[in-house]
Amino acid sequence: MNPAPVREPLALYIHWPFCLAKCPYCDFNSHVRDVPPQARFRAALRAELAWEAARLGPRPLSSIFFGGGTPSLMEPQTVADLLADAARLFAPLPDMEITLEANPTSVEAGRLAAFRAAGVNRLSLGVQSLEPEALARLGRRHSVAEAVAALETARAIFPRVSFDLIYARPGQTPPAWRAELRAALALAADHLSLYQLTIEPGTQYEALHRRGEIVLPDGDTAAALYEATAEEAARFGLLAYEVSNYAVPGGEGRHNLAYWRYRDYAGIGPGAHGRVTPNGATLLATRRHRAPEPWVERVEQQGHGTAAEEAVCPVDRAREMLLMGLRLTEGIDAARFAARTGRELVEALDAGVLIQARQAGYLAWDGERLAATPEGRLRLDALLADLVL
């Protein structure tokens, strides 16, 4: 079976790589610069966006996401210029979602009105905790008071606001997390991202963990924390639509849904990844050069900073779509899976593991849609390792 040509809207990711400090748990492509080279990187981002648009054509554009790094360190004019370019180069949908990530420091909060004026209509704040000691251990530069003030300011400026919290921190108990989460939910708007702390290679936390200076909650405690997360969020009307994301109905993050539903998305900026179909049929995996300065030099020389680009074969398409789609509460539609990957859904699954997982109550499968149950999402990584061929 050949995959059907892509006619779905495009999502656009724009990466700003600079931060004022590196958080000890973070493995994102972020680089500390006291004074980011604003003008040079604005020109390079605009050039790479134009290059990508030239080969993709005037596709419908459903969302734009400014990620990082710390995008709120961008000059608002940079955001305005990139949004104007995107509107000219693509065909924005009337309800296009435009998200910008920000930290709740006073400096960044002072720019929020300017970002709204530039066209941003959804803000994602990296709060991470409402406990002072936890903020210090996580290396955050804001206080709890600044986080609350930034949230209140954001809700007055933007029609949609989300913020992030990290749980399963060292020594954290379910009662303590419930109390912190209730305080956060009282401040929430339509969306929360609630991430379980993991030890990522190459981070400061990895070194501390290796030396025994950081000990994460054991498996049973982590499971109890996850269950408490869903229970408390539901009390405030926010339901899990993805493993780590909760929203009121209609408040889901549309840009990230494009990733999890395995739609086309273009990645612009240092280290950005993409999945695009320039000819409407061949899915390409793209990756920009990770380091900011080499990336900008490549853009200035050739119009883009591509480090690697290759066609994604049907087997890999199927694997990627399963790994992403089973994170969603809605699961994966079998017909769309076949159209996108060129493989039938059941061909990409271990039949024996599928039977066992259904019997155990971890997966639901009615012949048309495959979805992980709440119990299945609790152990999703282990389940996927055995299920996906």
pLDDT at residue 36 greater than cutoff 90: no
Predicted model pTM: 0.93
Phi then psi dihedrals of residue 225, to 5 deg: -65, -40
**Tens digit of each residue's pLDDT (9 = 90 or more) over 104-153:** 886 677 789 999 999 999 999 999 999 888 888 888 888 899 899 889 99
- Which residues pair with residue 97 across a beta bridge? 63
Amino acid at 307: A
Strands 31-32 and 18-19: parallel
**Tens digit of each residue's pLDDT (9 = 90 or more) over 188-230:** 778 999 999 888 888 887 888 788 888 888 888 988 999 999 9
**Helix ranges, the chain (H):** 38-56, 76-89, 106-109, 112-118, 132-137, 144-157, 174-185, 204-210, 219-235, 254-260, 292-302, 314-325, 334-341, 351-359, 374-378, 380-387
Tell me the C-alpha distance between 188 and 350, whole Å. Answer: 40
What is the full DSSP assignment across 290-325? SSHHHHHHHHHHHS--EEEEEEPPHHHHHHHHHHHH
Q: How many Å is the Cα radius of gyration of the chain? A: 21
Q: 119: phi > 0 → left, psi -120 to 50 → alpha, else beta; which?
A: left
Residue 281 — very low, low, confident or very high, per pLDDT cuts 50/70/90?
A: confident
Assigned token pair, 289 = 């050069």
With residues binned 3-state (H G I as helix, E B as strand, rest as coil), the percentages for the chain, rounded to 5, are 45, 25, 35
Q: What is the mean pLDDT of residues 24-49?
A: 84
What is the reported pLDDT for 107? 64
| Sign of the C-alpha dihedral computed for residues 272, 255, 198 and 151 taken in this order | positive
Helix, strand, or coil (residue 386): helix
Assigned token pair, 229 = 């997360």
